[in-house]
Amino acid sequence: MARGQVSTGEPCVSLVPLFAGLTREQQADVATLARPVTVGPGEVVVRAGARQAPLFVVHSGMVKLSRTSADGRSTTLQVLGPGDVGGESWLLAGERPGSDVVTLEPVRMCVFEPAALDTIVRDFPSVGVALLRSLAVRLHSAERMLTARTLSDVSARVAAYLLDCPTTWGSDGTATAHLPMAKKDIATFLGTSPETLSRRLKAFAHDGLIHVRGTDVDVRDPVGLELRARGA
């Protein structure tokens, strides 16, 4: 849970971890290569199989990465929120995107075309290192969820999901995970029922791991939640 809270009053280049190692002047240079985009809900920002797909930084709102099967069923793979970076995996691998990127609500983002990103990484090597770090975090999250989904314990799946939700941090250091979908859709994604999901959330709250406030979940014990995600 390493995402930071993003204010809509500043450009995303100056606010996300990817560019945190740059000076203000360098961030201003990078910002000239960014294309600001504002998109309404339900729009496809990146389509699977596109010949050229950009790297994007979510400034406000949420997007989902989803994959559609041959029979037309759509599966949500990941949800990204403010401060999150998307597209680094296909850019670093030199491959076409394997999933659609769809907005869940009105979204503002900074978009970097591949040529612009090449320039940034050449001029500011620290950004390339940050991209690799971001990809490593993404892989860790994917491994955690894969491990949780192979376990019969629904609690592990729910815990892993909460740890990977878009997160903001309060001034007191408390992490708040934001549920990006209705609970019935989350239950479907996790292969369980809405009733079971509600029971698991109540059990986590009873154990002092979380506090549920509607679609916001305050994570009071991230270490304990991580252990639950591992089936411990």
Q: Which comes out higher in pLDDT, residue 43 or 135?
A: 43
The residue type found at 73 is R
> 49 phi and psi, to 5 degrees?
85, 0
pLDDT at 90: 81
pLDDT at 9: 43
Higher pLDDT pick, 77 / 40: 40
- Please tell me the pTM assigned to this model: 0.64
In order of start, what are the domains of the chain with their CATH numbers?
12-144 (2.60.120.10), 153-229 (1.10.10.10)
Residue 3 in this model has a pLDDT that exceeds 50: no
Binning pLDDT at 50, 70 and 90, where does residue 211 land?
Answer: very high
13-21: which pairs have CB atoms within 8 A and are 24 or more residues apart?
A: 13/57, 13/110, 15/59, 15/83, 16/57, 16/83, 16/84, 16/85, 17/83, 17/130, 17/134, 18/57, 18/85, 18/127, 18/130, 18/131, 18/134, 19/127, 19/130, 20/130, 21/126, 21/127, 21/130
Beta strands in the chain (DSSP E): 35-39, 44-46, 55-60, 63-68, 74-80, 85-86, 100-103, 107-112, 167-169, 175-178, 210-213, 216-219
**Among 24-33, 98-107, 151-160, the range of highest mean pLDDT:** 98-107
Residues 6+ apart with CB under 8 A from 101: 44, 45, 46, 56, 63, 64, 65, 86, 87
Residues 6+ apart with CB under 8 A from 122: none
What mean pLDDT do residues 117-143 have? 82
Q: Which two tokens stand for residue 51?
A: 């010949």
pLDDT band at 201 (very low <50, low <70, confident <90, very high): very high
Note the pLDDT tens digit of each residue in 165-190. Answer: 878 877 777 888 888 788 888 888 78
- Which of 194 and 164 is assigned the larger pLDDT? 194
Radius of gyration of the chain (CA): 18
Other C-beta atoms closer than 10 Å to the C-beta of 124 total 19
What three-state secondary structure class fits 133? helix
| Average pLDDT along the chain | 82
Q: What is the pLDDT of residue 8?
A: 38
- Does position 210 have pLDDT exceeding 90, yes or no? yes
Choice between 1 and 130, residue whose per-residue pLDDT is larger: 130
Torsion, Cα of 146, 151, 155, 161 (10° steps): 10
pLDDT mean over 105-111: 90
Q: How would residue 10 be classed by pLDDT, with cut points 50, 70 and 90? A: low
- Which residues, in sequence order, are CB contacts of 221 under 8 Å at separation 6+? 208, 209, 210
pLDDT of res. 4: 38
